[in-house]
A and B are shown apart, each in its own frame.
Chain A
Amino acid sequence: MIPSEWLIAFSLILFAFGWIAILVRRNVIVMLMGVQWLFVSVALAFVSFARSYAHEGAVWEGAVGESAAVLVLAIAIIHLVVGLSVTLSQKHVGVSSDVDDASDLRW
């Protein structure tokens, strides 16, 4: 079994990558991908922490954490649907995929 510390460290690195993608790139598709990485890193952290703090002799150690991870991933889908819908709506009014073009929030 993989040590939980490794998984948590990896989720931290992935979380940092998500923030870098959001802050550095101005393409809205890359930014949405970065947000997806944020959600996945949080789900991985849920699984890791649930396994770390589970008591000995449990029927299945990661059940609670994995349930939370599945919920986080479902919320990631929600975020993606809403984000892409707003992006397509912006496309209809002539805004490109660069988020700086939509800085005035004009519809």
Chain B
Amino acid sequence: MIIALFVFVVLAIASIGGGLLLLAEGRRTTSLVAGYLGVSLALSGVMLLGGGVFASIFLFSLSMSTALVFLFVGVRIQGRGGENFDSAHVGRLVGKIVGSFSVLAIVVLLASLLPIAESREIVGVATAEPDLLGRILFGESNLLMLALGLIFLASATGALALVMGRSES
């Protein structure tokens, strides 16, 4: 209990501090994506501690994929000219080092969460109701098919917007 509270407080502080740094100092695409990824991983840990095991897994994969998309689109929009590392500026250099260590610390903290999740949530759910996940995903609510359908619809809409924008230009 004490460990979980401590980890929650650390992750919450990391999220808030990372968000503040991202809003205040994030200018280049790589800085933005690194900050976004760190904050999203911390949020995934918070979600896991809050009891949302499957939502945490979903958020983890979501943050990884969105960070990659942000990186590709950001490089394309903002240009590769803005990607040089101006280490002459001492404050930005310190910010990059601190940010790198904070991301590393968050990854280590997330790894330390695994025993807590296994002992409290996963085992309890699996022993109480073994086919609960299958019922949630494929059962009455048919959640997985609905989510996949929505994502497919979004992809089709995005592709249509891209084609329209290209033809207009």
- With A2-B4, A29-B70, A33-B70 as given contacts, are A40 and B151 in contact (CB-CB < 8 Å)? no
Which B residues lie within 8 Å of A107 (CB)? 165, 168
A30 touches B47 (CB 8 A): no
A88 touches B54 (CB 8 A): no
Which B residues lie within 8 Å of A88 (CB)? 73, 76-77, 162, 165
- With A6-B8, A21-B23, A70-B55 as given contacts, are A93 and B69 in contact (CB-CB < 8 Å)? no
Residues 1-27 of B at the A interface (beta carbon under 8 Å): 1, 4-5, 8, 12, 15-16, 19-20, 22-23, 26
Q: For chain B, what secondary structure do more than half of its interface residues adopt (helix, strand, loop), or is it mixed?
A: helix
Q: How far is the CB of B126 from chain A (nearest CB, A)?
A: 10
Which 4 pairs of residues, A with B, have the shortest CB-CB distance?
A89-B165, A85-B158, A78-B154, A47-B52
10 more contacts with CB within 8 A, not counting A2-B5, A33-B70, A74-B151, are A14-B15, A21-B23, A27-B32, A32-B70, A36-B40, A40-B59, A62-B51, A73-B62, A93-B169, A97-B77
Residues of B in contact with A (beta carbons under 8 Å apart): 1, 4-5, 8, 12, 15-16, 19-20, 22-23, 26, 29, 32, 36, 39-40, 43, 46-47, 49-55, 58-59, 62, 66, 69-70, 73-74, 76-78, 120, 125, 128-129, 132, 136, 141, 143, 146-147, 150-151, 153-155, 157-159, 161-162, 164-166, 168-169
